């Protein structure tokens, strides 16, 4: 039981990270209707930016951890958001009204560009950082000597995710931008007729998605203590799996899917085999789609003739 509780905690933390990335996928899909294959790599770039900012701040003699983390968070969100904007501007906007496969291949190309760009710019080796947030709480001491622990970093990851989600939900539900986004999702032509700047709204969608991915990248860096140029690929596929699992286009679905994938992965590695954890996640995806082709919270697609 204790072991299960511990895995549950780990799974939820991992799921939060996946959920943050999945929101970027699901938002873009909802509005533009394309899989942003480069999104996982935007997450990786976010991790790198966070790492570099952190190193610079530390070398400048800054020692107050909360201040450092806040600056790192803001810088990596801002710069990564600009990456998201640039990717959309260069690779997707010219193909907005093209046929469906063109932006998808362009996105795959962009993903290769980002992966190899960071490999060339920062080297192929894994970048480790010492644990930045240490300590934690012991929740329960079991009879067999097994201890259920909740580390501070896990608390930070979960709290950051919850705060961002609240902020993001408010943004979509209550602000002008959120309304524009929802309008574009329903009907771009009609939204444009009613005075919504569609291009700008789509750009902002990419910017917000990239900023959330940057937070996920930073959390990944803090939680695992390393980044490398290839981490975006697998994380990206899993986050996309999460978005599809939750029902693509649905924001609560993306978070739910993220948590589900995180839990499946953690519990599978805990009880079955670590090697096959990704196989388990992907198999669950296939099984869910067979029985629920629109995901957990997705709207069924109406087929028009």
**Residue 137 vs 276, nearer CB to other proteins:** 276
Does position 211 interact with other proteins (CB under 8 A)? The reply is no
- Judged by CB under 8 A, which of 8, 52, 267, 296 binds other proteins? 52
Residue 42: other Cβ atoms inside 10 A: 30
- Sites for other proteins among residues 4-33 (CB under 8 A): 29
Stretch that binds other proteins, among 112-120, 171-179, 213-221, 253-261 (CB under 8 A): 112-120
Does position 278 interact with other proteins (CB under 8 A)? The reply is yes
Stretch that binds other proteins, among 9-17, 105-113, 149-157, 174-182 (CB under 8 A): 105-113
Does position 175 interact with other proteins (CB under 8 A)? The reply is no
- The CB-of-148 to other proteins minimum distance in angstroms stands at 30
In angstroms, how far apart are the furthest CA atoms of the chain? 67
Stretch that binds other proteins, among 6-14, 179-187, 253-261, 284-292 (CB under 8 A): 284-292
**Residue 94 vs 142, nearer CB to other proteins:** 94
Instruction: From 172, 292, 158, select the one nearest 216 (Cα to Cα).
Output: 158
- The CB-of-154 to other proteins minimum distance in angstroms stands at 23
Alpha-carbon distances, residue 223 vs 83, 91, 196, 227, 286 (angstroms) = 23, 32, 40, 11, 29
- The CB-of-178 to other proteins minimum distance in angstroms stands at 24
Among the residues of 175-197, which ranges form H helices?
Answer: 176-186, 188-193
Classified as helix, coil or strand, 180 is helix
- The CB-of-112 to other proteins minimum distance in angstroms stands at 3
Does position 248 interact with other proteins (CB under 8 A)? The reply is yes
Six token digits for residue 137? 């709480």
Does position 97 interact with other proteins (CB under 8 A)? The reply is yes
Does position 176 interact with other proteins (CB under 8 A)? The reply is no
- The CB-of-95 to other proteins minimum distance in angstroms stands at 6
Stretch that binds other proteins, among 7-15, 136-144, 261-269, 289-297 (CB under 8 A): 289-297
State the DSSP code for 299: P
Whole-angstrom Cα distance, residue 84 to residue 104?
16
Six token digits for residue 15? 């799921």
Contacts of residue 215, Cβ cutoff 8 Å, sequence gap at least 6: 20, 46, 73, 76, 77, 160, 164
- Interface pattern 114-133 for other proteins (x via CB under 8 A): xxxxxxxxxx-x-xxxx---
What is the 3-state composition of the chain as percent helix, strand, coil, each rounded to the nearest 5? 75, 5, 20
Stretch that binds other proteins, among 10-18, 210-218, 258-266, 280-288 (CB under 8 A): 280-288
- The CB-of-223 to other proteins minimum distance in angstroms stands at 17
Classified as helix, coil or strand, 49 is helix
Alpha-carbon distances, residue 282 vs 75, 76, 142, 241 (angstroms) = 34, 30, 33, 7
- Sites for other proteins among residues 61-80 (CB under 8 A): 75, 79
Whole-angstrom Cα distance, residue 297 to residue 244?
10
**Residue 178 vs 295, nearer CB to other proteins:** 295
């Amino acid at each position: 039981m204790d072991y299960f509780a511990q895995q549950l905690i780990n799974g939820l933390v991992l799921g939060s990270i996946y959920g943050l990335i999945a929101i970027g996928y699901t938002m873009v899909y909802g509005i533009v209707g394309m899989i942003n294959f480069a999104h996982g790599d935007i997450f990786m770039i976010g991790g790198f930016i966070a790492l570099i900012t952190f190193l610079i701040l530390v070398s400048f003699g800054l020692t107050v951890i909360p201040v450092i983390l806040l600056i790192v968070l803001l810088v990596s969100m801002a710069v990564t958001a600009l990456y998201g904007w640039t990717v959309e501007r260069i690779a997707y906007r010219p193909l907005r009204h093209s046929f469906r496969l063109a932006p998808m291949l362009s996105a795959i190309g962009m993903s290769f560009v980002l992966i190899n760009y960071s490999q060339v710019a920062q080297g192929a080796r894994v970048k480790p950082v010492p644990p930045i947030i240490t300590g934690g709480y012991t929740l329960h001491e079991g009879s067999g000597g097994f201890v259920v622990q909740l580390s501070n970093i896990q608390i930070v990851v979960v709290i950051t995710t919850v705060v961002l989600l609240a902020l993001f939900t408010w943004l979509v539900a209550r602000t002008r931008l959120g309304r524009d986004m929802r309008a574009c999702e329903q009907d771009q032509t009609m939204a444009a007729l009613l005075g919504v700047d569609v291009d700008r709204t789509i750009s902002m969608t990419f910017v917000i998605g990239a900023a959330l991915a940057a937070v996920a990248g930073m959390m990944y860096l803090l939680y695992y203590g390393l980044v490398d140029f290839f981490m975006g690929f697998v994380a990206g596929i899993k986050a996309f799996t999460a978005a599809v699992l939750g029902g693509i286009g649905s924001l609560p679905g993306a978070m739910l899917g993220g948590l589900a994938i995180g839990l499946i992965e953690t519990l599978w590695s805990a009880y079955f085999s670590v090697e096959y954890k990704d196989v388990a996640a992907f198999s669950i995806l296939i099984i869910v789609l067979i029985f629920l082709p629109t995901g957990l919270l997705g709207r069924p697609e109406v087929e028009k003739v």
